[in-house]
A and B are shown apart, each in its own frame.
Chain A
Amino acid sequence: TQLLEQSPQFLSIQEGENLTVYCNSSSVFSSLQWYRQEPGEGPVLLVTVVTGGEVKKLKRLTFQFGDARKDSSLHITAAQPGDTGLYLCAGPYTGGFKTIFGAGTRLFVKA
């Protein structure tokens, strides 16, 4: 069974701090996506990583795909209150049309 485990489940930090969120699996994924979801809204795709070892940057967000394509991380530099939300990692299920979602990391950035 393909599973994605995210840690931590919840993170509350002060504005300006740095943080890293992790997404781990014992299975290989052909790609992984990161989404941010705000309350009452749908998830918004932030990035897709495809190649093992790949690093992508989106302003203050840095995404990394593990060399073995079993894990990924999201690093936020100088967090801002606008970064508050639920961060979900997801990846395609090798057996068909489904996507596996992690349980999410709930981030709260205090001003």
Chain B
Amino acid sequence: DTEVTQTPKHLVMGMTNKKSLKCEQHMGHRAMYWYKQKAKKPPELMFVYSYEKLSINESVPSRFSPECPNSSLLNLHLHALQPEDSALYLCASSQESRGQSGYTFGSGTRLTVV
């Protein structure tokens, strides 16, 4: 299995809702990432998990809460989001923590906050 699977593919949520994005990989990769991508822009790093521990939080607002239940799963819990948080949220994994050999990205979750 050489894929990163993200669910759901599309999500529309109100500003008072709580929702979660899910990501799964079975490649034995030890690092997993959440990225946010706005239209016509490159991906922006949000969080890095290395060996199931949070290594980097790129000053992301607390309305985004990551969780790594085990080495194959990564969640992103969303609460009280703003319309400007609408974007494509990408999960990625890599064999090693520094991403030297590149990432495997999921297809993303297209999030719309209304």
Asked if B103 is at the interface of the complex by the 8 Å CB criterion, the answer is: yes
Taking CB atoms, residues of chain B closer than 8 Å to A18 are none
Q: Please give the distance in Å from A90's CB to the nearest CB on chain B.
A: 8
Asked if A61 is at the interface of the complex by the 8 Å CB criterion, the answer is: no
New A-B pairs, 9, CB < 8 Å, besides A40-B88, A97-B50 = A35-B102, A41-B107, A43-B105, A45-B102, A96-B55, A98-B99, A99-B99, A102-B42, A106-B40
Size category of the binding interface on chain A: 20 to 34
Tell me what chain A mostly uses at the interface: helix, strand, loop, or mixed: loop
- Asked if residues B56 and A42 are in contact (CB atoms below 8 Å), the reply is no
- Asked if residues A97 and B105 are in contact (CB atoms below 8 Å), the reply is no
Taking CB atoms, residues of chain B closer than 8 Å to A40 are 88, 107-108, 110
Residues of chain B having any CB pair with chain A under 8 Å:
4, 6, 31, 40-43, 45, 48, 50, 55-56, 58, 88, 90, 92, 97-108, 110
Return the chain A residue nearest B98 by Cβ: A92
- Asked if residues B56 and A97 are in contact (CB atoms below 8 Å), the reply is yes
Contact of B42 among A31, A88, A97 (CB under 8 A): A88
Q: A103-B41, A104-B42 are in contact. Are A45 and B103 (CB under 8 A)?
A: yes
- Asked if residues A45 and B104 are in contact (CB atoms below 8 Å), the reply is yes
Q: How many angstroms between the C-alpha atoms of A33 and B90 in the bound complex?
A: 17
- Asked if residues B56 and A43 are in contact (CB atoms below 8 Å), the reply is no
Asked if A44 is at the interface of the complex by the 8 Å CB criterion, the answer is: yes
Contact of A97 among B40, B55, B102 (CB under 8 A): B55
